[in-house]
Chain A
Amino acid sequence: MSKTKEQEPIELHGDIWKHIQPGEVILDARGITKRYPGGVLANDHIDFKIRAGEIHAILGENGAGKTTLMSILFGLLQPDEGEIYVRGLKVRFRSPEDAIKMGIGMVHQHRKLVPAHTVLENILLGHPRSRGVINVKEAEEEVVAIAERYGFKVDPRARVWQLTEGEKQVVEIVKALYRGAKILILDEPTSALTPVETERLLESIETMTNEALGVVPFITHKLPMVLTISDHVTILRRGKVVDHIETAKATEQILAQKMVGRPVIFDLQKPPSQPGEPVIQVENLSAKNNKGVIALKNVSFTVREGEILGIAGVAGNGQHELAETIFGMRPAETGKIIFNGQDITQLSILDRWKLGMGYTPAERTEVGSIGDFSLVENVAMNYYFDKRYNHSGFLDYGRLRGLTEQIIEEYDVATPGPDVKIQTLSGGNLQKIIMGRVLSRQPKLVIANLPAQGLDVGATEFVQRKLLEARSNRAAVILISEDLDEILSLSDWIAPMYEGHIVDIIPAAEAKKDIIGAMIAGLHQEN
């Protein structure tokens, strides 16, 4: 690698960020181009500027090139063409270390933390200071000070595995700030957050921009969020910049149309409910969470054929435990689960699949799929035991391949073919495969855990339509979501959860968003 002066900006870090004026261009990317093997043009001459004190949203569907662009800005990838200037200084990042030293911080959508370590250890990990001896007490004080300055609550001694998604994100942000980030890149920052956490994050971001930090959230699906928080939006489609807009002049419709390239319908067609026999009856069910504490407390409900029960709630209020307990991935401490009249509380997960239950987990990459496996092998996860695909111990891979191709076709999955590893798919396409695989079994009960979380507009619409289709096919559906709009538009019954209890079960026709919002925040008074 030829060395020129521009590549050694490391020592300049202290100087370069002095005397920032709000509104000044602090990062200028010109003509960024990245071509992947196979000729995919992920970024095609992208130009954009970030100004100090500005929130600059970058909008685009899955596969529009956002992640590539972000990786280039953070030094994870090197562009084939184009230049990056930080405060007028031309830089070339060979690795994230270079980018960090230039004041660029990044918070990934998929958290990159060590679960077994404490918050403080994670924050110190990789920090230039941690090479020698660390004064832990001093570092802890500094971390707490930074967190307080921006209004974050973190316990530096908590272990990361004990944290909720929202708390983990806070850790990542504090980590970036502790390293001196002046430009903070947030990848889908609100996708895993609850409404309350989102609000808190936005307040903190505002504090940051007041201090003339540049913040770049990459947002795909939460268009209202873009409208409320950002100052500028850059819209990408197929690797190209479609438009730069001042947010004040944009509407949800305009943004969606530019992003998708066609008008988007926001209303789902939901036929009237025709409930049939009860499919699942949960009685007095309790379960523990991963920390061994009772997190699901005496929950009871019934879902009938052709009905969707929407479980609303802020993450960590027992919804996850509820889904896993019904599906047998977590033992029930008390209570009974009755499926089609049969007590299945003690049955294995395999038996539940065979009886016609289906579960789409929230953790799509860790639980819902096997990244190293091909699409066909991932589809086999729900079929390896099925007599139609398993002939006395031998798997019928030919038939599985056919089924996979059918799912790819029906769900409009963007993939080169059924034999590629599933880890090459984007989030939306991965979820389509998981949904397709589970729904193709025509389950009598579908438990969908955060089915549209983190998906772009198109994929969200698709997944939601498929859930309604399952309902029309007489399945009972339990929908777990943190998005109240999603709950309200899909459910027949709504069960808000708070601290492990179901607060109430309300028919969707009578449900009001503000009341449910109060219930999941624990503000609802029993009358």
Chain B
Amino acid sequence: MTVAGYQIRLQRRASLPGWKAAMFSILAILFGLLLFSFIFLQADQSPKEIYKQIFRYAFFNSYGLRLTINRFIFLAMASYAFIIPFRAGLWNIGMPGQLYMGALAAFGVVYLLGGKTGDLAVAQPVVLVLMVIASMVAGALIGGIAGLLKGKWNVNEIVVTMMLNFIAFYFVSFMIKDGGPFMNVGGRGESFELPEAARAPLIAGFPYTLVMVFVLMIVLYVLFSRMSLGYQIRAFGKSPSAARYAGINPFKISVLVFMLGGALAGLAGYHYFGAVPGVYKIARTYGYFGDLSFYGMICGLISLGNPIATLFIALLFGGLSIGGRYAQGKLHLGFGVDYALMGVLMISLVAFQFFYNYQITFSKKPTGK
């Protein structure tokens, strides 16, 4: 293409430094916000004012920030649950089911210790550790089913995880609704409330699960960039046939990545129902959080499976979903504007990934041609 005497060309990139990838993501976000301002203008609203409201509430209002962080932790864990199988070339669509089972298992620990009706006989740290372990084991077990079927008989993991979501969804329903063992004394279609001793401690007003997210980031980063297991997962993800030739066991990898992914989704379930202040029960609307966990897929895909980049994306979407909803109510915007905004940003982020592989170069067109 030629513009004003300059030749503009598209060229494939040989490599891309990390800072440039980050820069393109920031440009993509700015571009998405700019694009969406036209929709606000169309509705006679000032985009500047709306964005100010969204970001101020999500990140600078102490109440809003807490909501943002709670959601960020949840999204980050769900993203990691997606990323681990994703790096092995497998698709985990089962975060909802895995987190339901994780939440149930955590509440099951409390239930077994007699926490439904009275106080717990065991010290708080012990309960917390047991709850965390139980949620991860439960998530790993239900996730492992998909890995097992994939590894043994090559059954499509997307279908299996999807179907398991339904099973888990109704299993939770059975457990917490009227007549279920975990039902709330007041009914209301929700689970019993956690007693004091089973509630997660707060660090500076944030649940302690926030620390887990950063630990997970480091663990995953090291796993994929330094460890033999991470290498095997990546090799299998890039080329199953080459991985098999190299002696990597496809069955082991399939089961392992789904168990690890499931464990992290289970932890996300524990976080939202067991560690977020003011919740401490499996809410009647638990299905909403199952749906929310699908944003983990989006964060994982946008960050191309990079555990560090994932956190930034998860924070952005966590904040936007909180701030967007707030601004929508406060400024009387149309229904669904918050989700539409997130959708536009996602598309923009994905579209800008074009520049990860290509670059545009300008050169003075030689004259006389």
Contacts and interface: CB of A to CB of B under 8 A. Distances in A.
B238 to A, nearest CB: 5
Contacts of B226: 394-395, 397
B245 A377 contact: no
Contacts of B247: 348-353, 385
A17 interface: no
Interface string A343-358: 0000011111100000
A37 B231 contact: no
B14 A38 contact: yes
21 contacts: A329-B245, A348-B249, A350-B249, A353-B246, A366-B241, A366-B242, A367-B245, A369-B242, A370-B238, A370-B243, A371-B239, A372-B238, A384-B231, A385-B247, A390-B228, A393-B228, A394-B228, A395-B226, A395-B227, A395-B231, A424-B14
A384 B232 CA distance: 8
A424 B249 CA distance: 28
A381 interface: yes
A368 interface: yes
A381 B14 contact: no
A380 B241 CA distance: 16
Contacts of B11: 37
A376 to B, nearest CB: 11
A76 to B, nearest CB: 13
A367 B227 CA distance: 22
Interface string B235-267: 100110111111111000000000000000000
Contacts, number: 77
Q: Which of A351, A366, A395 has the most CB of B within 10 A?
A: A395
A420 B2 contact: no
A37 B14 CA distance: 9
Contacts of B228: 384-385, 390, 393-395
B245 A361 contact: yes
Given A369-B242, A381-B242, A381-B246, 4 more contacts: A349-B247, A381-B245, A385-B228, A393-B228
Contacts of B12: 37
Interface of B: 1-2, 11-12, 14-15, 226-229, 231-232, 234-235, 238-239, 241-249
Interface string A373-392: 10001001110110000100
A1 interface: yes
Contact of A1 (B1, B15, B231, B244): B1
A359 interface: yes
A2 interface: yes
A367 B235 CA distance: 11
A387 B223 CA distance: 18
Interface residues of A, number: 35
Contacts of B232: 384
Contacts of A394: 226-228
Contacts of B234: 373, 377
Contacts of A382: 246
Contacts of B15: 420
Contacts of B245: 329, 349, 359, 361, 367-368, 381
A1 B8 CA distance: 10
A348 B244 CA distance: 10
Given A377-B231, A394-B227, A384 B238 contact: no
Given A359-B245, A385-B247, A370 B14 contact: no
A326 to B, nearest CB: 13
Interface in A202-240: none
A349 B14 contact: no
A367 B14 contact: no
B255 to A, nearest CB: 16
A370 B242 contact: yes
A384 B230 CA distance: 10
Contacts of A380: 231
A397 B225 CA distance: 9
Q: Which of B2, B11, B12, B228 has the most CB of A within 10 A?
A: B228
Contacts of A370: 235, 238-239, 242-243
Contacts of A37: 11-12, 14
A358 to B, nearest CB: 11
Contacts of B249: 348, 350
Q: Which of B241, B244, B247 has the most CB of A within 10 A?
A: B247
A385 to B, nearest CB: 7
- Top 5 nearest A-B pairs (CB, nearest first) are A350-B247, A381-B246, A349-B247, A370-B239, A370-B238
A392 to B, nearest CB: 9
Contact of A393 (B227, B244, B248): B227
A373 B242 CA distance: 11
A479 B168 CA distance: 54
Contacts of B231: 377, 380, 384, 395
Nearest to A363: B241
Q: Which of B11, B15, B245 has the most CB of A within 10 A?
A: B245
A370 B234 CA distance: 10
A367 B241 contact: yes
B235 A373 contact: yes
A38 B13 CA distance: 11
Contacts of B241: 363, 366-367
A458 B199 CA distance: 71
